[in-house]
């Protein structure tokens, strides 16, 4: 799974990226700090089944801390998006093409209103305008691609399939493409659809294929309070409050052994003595977390599990010991789409395993289940195959 961090320049995208990936990137308070995309790994969280089974887990592709499994996702942070980027302004189409393979987006805005739409310092800017700008540029970018190749669509007997092939990098099925066509009011035999209809069509595709979670950043700034209500209304509730700077400071302190930070519960405890300045800073950050003005981990989890409808399952080779053939207990945590089957899981593990799959075993009940068994979050599954 790949998540793209997007937004206008100088809204805190790179700080958020650093906080959730712990990658060192250049961070500064001026536009276009990021030129080439930064790529890293962040984590979503799920309850690890090891405590339920009374065993200790040995994760390979993830890690476990205090009963919580941290499951990796890929994250890309790209250059800031300015108005008319789809026409080549700013980083232009480079920005947009860098995002084409993302499964979903985190759109970072400055809730304090102290940077304008081009990333320059100001006062009294409307953060809601950042949301509109980015959505418009995404729609214009995709509608431009569709318009350039529209002739193939209106001449095709299967417009949905042709559209899906045309924008295969977006990852949308022919069925969904046809649904978007109908909802936009475009007839596929229409030679030159109105631009506004085409733009509406493009936005429908983005909405269905790439969910967007709004990240209202810089909530530690007192001026952010007056903008929060409007941001929540414009984002239709798909918004998380955030201070990327404080989140980065907490995660660095955790990495350095100063605190034990639980980003899911938004709490920490001190592990060593600190000086007065550090003590004061930690006290402020603890109060800030309790205020509910930052929920970075919750934002990642909601995007993955609610908006992208993923679940976590745990494949094993021994359903009695919950282990792989090396004896590692609950070694892997796999993110898979809700509605997937045991056969789908086998294909993710290895194509040969799926080809020779006979059945699966539910490690909790020890019952044999079919290839078409629909997986549930937290399932521990053994795949039995004629090909090993």
Read off the pLDDT of residues 273-302 as tens digits, 9 standing for 90 and up. 999 999 999 999 999 999 999 999 999 999
CB 105 within 8 A of CB 210: yes
Asked if residue 98 and residue 22 are part of one domain, the reply reads: yes
Q: What span, in angstroms and rounded, lies between the C-alpha atoms of 357 and 351? A: 10
Look at residue 179 in the predicted model and tell me its pLDDT. Answer: 80
Asked if residue 359 and residue 233 are part of one domain, the reply reads: no
Look at residue 92 in the predicted model and tell me its pLDDT. Answer: 45
Q: What span, in angstroms and rounded, lies between the C-alpha atoms of 298 and 120? A: 29
For residue 315, the enclosing domain spans 310-385
Domain boundary residue, one of 259, 278, 308: 308
Q: What tens digit of pLDDT does each residue of 55-85 get?
A: 999 999 999 999 999 999 999 988 777 776 5
Asked if residue 367 and residue 257 are part of one domain, the reply reads: no
Asked if residue 106 and residue 239 are part of one domain, the reply reads: yes
Asked if residue 349 and residue 283 are part of one domain, the reply reads: no
Asked if residue 269 and residue 220 are part of one domain, the reply reads: yes
The radius of gyration of the chain from alpha carbons, rounded to an integer in Å, stands at 23
CATH classification at residue 341 = 3.10.20.30
| CA-to-CA separations, 130 to 36, 215, 301, 383, in angstroms, rounded | 21, 11, 23, 47
Look at residue 31 in the predicted model and tell me its pLDDT. Answer: 41
Look at residue 33 in the predicted model and tell me its pLDDT. Answer: 44
Q: To which residue do tokens 């020890």 refer? A: 366
Look at residue 9 in the predicted model and tell me its pLDDT. Answer: 87
Domain boundary residue, one of 308, 324, 356: 308
Asked if residue 329 and residue 278 are part of one domain, the reply reads: no
Asked if residue 82 and residue 2 are part of one domain, the reply reads: yes
| Pairs from 58-61 (Cβ < 8 Å, separation ≥ 24) | 58/327, 58/328, 58/329, 58/330, 58/331, 59/328, 59/330, 59/331, 59/332, 59/333, 60/328, 60/331, 60/332, 61/331, 61/332, 61/333, 61/334
Domain count of the chain?
2
Q: Distance of alpha carbon 299 from its chain centroid, rounded?
A: 9
Look at residue 323 in the predicted model and tell me its pLDDT. Answer: 97
Domain boundary residue, one of 271, 293, 308: 308
Asked if residue 314 and residue 304 are part of one domain, the reply reads: no
Look at residue 98 in the predicted model and tell me its pLDDT. Answer: 65
CB 202 within 8 A of CB 210: no
Q: Kindly state whether residue 182 falls inside one of the protein's structural domains.
A: no
CB 312 within 8 A of CB 68: no
Low-confidence residues in the chain, pLDDT < 70: 24-36, 84-98, 168-169, 171, 187-190, 388
């Amino acid at each position: 799974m790949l998540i793209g961090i997007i937004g206008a320049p100088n809204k805190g995208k790179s700080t958020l990226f650093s906080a959730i990936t712990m990658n060192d990137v250049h961070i500064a308070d001026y536009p276009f700090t990021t030129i080439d995309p930064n790529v890293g790994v962040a984590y979503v969280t799920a309850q690890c089944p090891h405590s339920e089974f009374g065993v200790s887990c040995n994760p390979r592709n993830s890690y476990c801390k205090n009963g919580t499994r941290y499951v990796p996702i890929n994250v890309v942070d790209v250059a800031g998006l300015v108005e008319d980027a789809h026409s080549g302004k700013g980083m232009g189409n480079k920005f947009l093409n860098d995002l084409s393979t993302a499964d979903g987006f985190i759109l970072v805005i400055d809730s304090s209103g102290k940077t304008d739409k081009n990333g320059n310092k100001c006062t009294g800017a409307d953060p809601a305008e950042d949301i509109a700008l980015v959505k418009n540029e995404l729609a214009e970018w995709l509608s431009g691609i569709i318009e350039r190749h529209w002739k193939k669509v209106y001449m095709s007997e299967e417009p949905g399939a042709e559209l899906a092939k045309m924008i295969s990098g977006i990852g949308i099925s022919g069925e969904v493409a046809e649904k978007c066509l109908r909802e936009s009011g475009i007839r596929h035999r229409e030679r030159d659809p109105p631009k506004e209809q085409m733009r509406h069509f493009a936005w429908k595709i983005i909405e269905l294929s790439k969910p967007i979670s709004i990240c209202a950043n810089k909530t530690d700034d007192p001026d952010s309070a007056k903008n929060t209500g409007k941001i929540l209304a414009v984002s239709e509730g798909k918004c998380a409050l955030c201070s990327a700077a404080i989140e980065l400071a907490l995660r660095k302190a955790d990495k350095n052994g100063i605190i034990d930070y639980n980003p899911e519960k938004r709490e920490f405890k001190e592990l060593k003595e600190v000086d007065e300045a550090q003590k004061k800073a930690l006290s402020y950050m603890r109060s800030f977390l309790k205020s509910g003005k930052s929920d970075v981990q919750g934002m990642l989890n909601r995007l993955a599990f609610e908006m992208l409808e993923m679940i976590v399952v745990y494949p094993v080779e021994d359903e009695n010991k919950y282990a792989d053939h090396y004896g590692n207990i609950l070694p892997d945590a796999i993110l898979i789409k809700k509605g997937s089957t045991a056969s789908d899981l086998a294909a993710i593990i290895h194509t040969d395993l799926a080809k020779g799959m006979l059945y699966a075993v539910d490690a909790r009940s020890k019952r044999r289940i079919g290839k078409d068994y629909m997986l549930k979050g937290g399932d521990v599954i053994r795949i039995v195959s004629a090909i090993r």
